[in-house]
Every structure is written in structure tokens, then in C-alpha cells.
Amino acid sequence: MTARTPSPGTRGTELAALEARYNEQRVLAEGAILGERRAALARLAMIAMFGVVTNLEGKSEAVRTVIGLVYTVFAVVTILVLRRLKGGDPRRALWRPLILMVVDFSLITTMALLDVTHGEPFSPGQHAIATAIVMSFAVARTSLVHVIGSVVLALISYALASGQGGQLRSHVTVFVMGGYVVLGFMIGITNRAVHHMFTGLRQRDNLTRFLPRQVAERVIKHGPKALAPIEREITVLFSDIRGFTGMSEGMGPTEVLTMLDDY
């Protein structure tokens, strides 16, 4: 059986589709960097909130202080690194947030476990809010993998902390864990909506620089196949105005345009 060789037009369309997909991933990666910068500021604000609560409660354990300082340094370094990043790398945009996510949940869980270990009662509300804040960072990230990962890590974090505090089987734990799933679902929907809006605006802006708006809208709606070559029977009319050169030499620009419009 002889394999069918794709036509040059088909190959060109496939290459255009691949290039469009890669460009979309780069756009999302660039947007993810902007999102991570804002998430980094939110992380620093959350750490400051932890510090205020710790001081108000009079907690001054050396280990907790060290972890707080480590988390603060991590947050500041993350902000500085993200400010220097330029351009979007789709691969790094996938694994970089996973590292940040693991560090966030690990440090939050460690602080909760330390409280329980030192005789402090487990605070479901405080831990639920902290993990929910970290989960919200996934809104601006590139993949649903980040959303699912944040939900899983939040569930593990709360299970470990509440289990250490003897509240794993309480109705509050069931409510909070169910809330994580619902919140993750909403974050996932928002994540997709933000991505579609961001890529759509960037794509429309780029296409309208080189194509008529009607063509650009068709490409956005139907993808690269909108530019695929097609065969069609058409009629072309070539027309000329006899003596136009000599006629236009004795007319002003406005008169020439008026005559052409009438013609």
C-alpha cells in the first residue's frame, strides 16, 4: 500500500499550526512570569501576616523563628529572580511553579506542625487560609497541572497538620478539605479563562499588525487552517481609464479622487 504524500499546502498548514501552538505557549509563559511576580508579593505579605500573628500570640521558639526567616529570604530571592526574568520559556514555566509550590506548602505545613509539637492547639482557620492563599497562586500559572498539584498539596498539608493536632476526623476537616476541592475547581476554571483571554488579546494584537481585521478575526476563530490555500473559481475585472495620465495632470488631487470614486 502506497503512503499518501501530503501536499505542500497541507505541510505548510501543519507547520503553521505547530508554530502557532508554540507561540501560544510562549505567550502563556510570559504571562505566567507576570503572574508569579504578583504571587511573590502576595507570598511576602502572607509571611508578614504570619509574623504579626506570631508576635501577637507571643510565640518565640527559635526553630519557628528560623523557619520564618528562611521563608522570608526565599520570598525575597524569588521576587528578585522573577524581576530579572525576561521572555517566556514554556518548559520552565511548567516546572518552576512546581518547585515554588512544594516549598510554599512544605514551610506552611512545618510551621503548623511545630505549633502542635510545642503544645499549641491546631488552628484550622489559620492553616486553611494560608493554604488557600498559596492555592490561589495557580490562577496565573500555565497549566492545570499546577492547579491540581496545589489542591493535592493543600489536602496533604491539612491532613498532616490536623492529624498531628488530633482533629483529622473532625467535621471541620471534612469541610475544609471539601472546600479545597471546590476552590481548586474554581481556580481551574479561572485559570483557563485567563489564559484564553490573554492569548486572544495577544494574538489579535499581533495579527492586526499584518492582516486586515476581518482576516485576523477569521484566523483567531478558525486557527491556522483559515490561511490554508484553497482553489476557487473567480472572475477578475481589469479596467482602465483612457487618457487618465494626461487628464490627471491638469487636475488637483481632490478632483482626481472624486473622479475615481465616481468611476
DSSP letter, residue 6: P
pLDDT at 152 over 90: yes
pLDDT band at 13; cut points 50, 70, 90? low
Q: What percent of the chain has pLDDT over 70?
A: 85
Of 31-35, 176-180, 256-260, the poorest mean pLDDT is in 31-35
Instruction: Record the cell numbers describing residue 28, joined without a space.
Output: 502563556
CA–CA distance from 190 to each of 92, 101, 155 (Å)? 22, 18, 20
Rounded-to-integer distance, Cα 156 and Cα 185, Å: 17
pLDDT one-digit tens code per residue, 40-78? 999 999 888 888 877 776 666 677 788 888 999 999 999
pLDDT one-digit tens code per residue, 74-97? 999 999 998 888 766 777 778 888
What is residue 236's three-state secondary structure?
A: coil
Q: Rounded to the nearest 10 degrees, how much is the dihedral formed by the CA atoms of 190, 194, 200, 201?
A: 140
Q: Rounded to the nearest 10 degrees, how much is the dihedral formed by the CA atoms of 203, 204, 205, 210?
A: 100
Mean pLDDT of the chain: 81
Mean pLDDT for 145-157 is: 94
What are the E-state strand segments in the chain? none
Helix residue ranges, H only, 208-251: 213-222, 244-249
Comparing 116 with 224, the larger pLDDT belongs to 116
Comparing 9 with 157, the larger pLDDT belongs to 157
Comparing 228 with 140, the larger pLDDT belongs to 140
pLDDT at 59: 64
Comparing 110 with 17, the larger pLDDT belongs to 110
pLDDT at 1: 45
The predicted model scores a pTM of 0.70
Q: Buried b vs exposed e over 75-102: b needs ≥16 C-beta within 10 Å?
A: beebbeebeebeebebeebbebbbebbe
HSE, CB side, 13 Å, CA atoms: give it for residue 133: 19
pLDDT at 38 over 90: no
- Residue pair 210/157 in contact (Cβ under 8 Å)? The answer is no
Rounded-to-integer distance, Cα 89 and Cα 196, Å: 18
pLDDT at 177 over 70: yes
CA–CA distance from 40 to each of 34, 116, 140 (Å)? 10, 28, 12
Comparing CA positions, the residue from 194, 183, 185, 196 lying closest to residue 34 is: 194
pLDDT at 175 over 90: yes
Top-ranked range on mean pLDDT: pick from 9-13, 178-182, 217-221, 246-250: 178-182
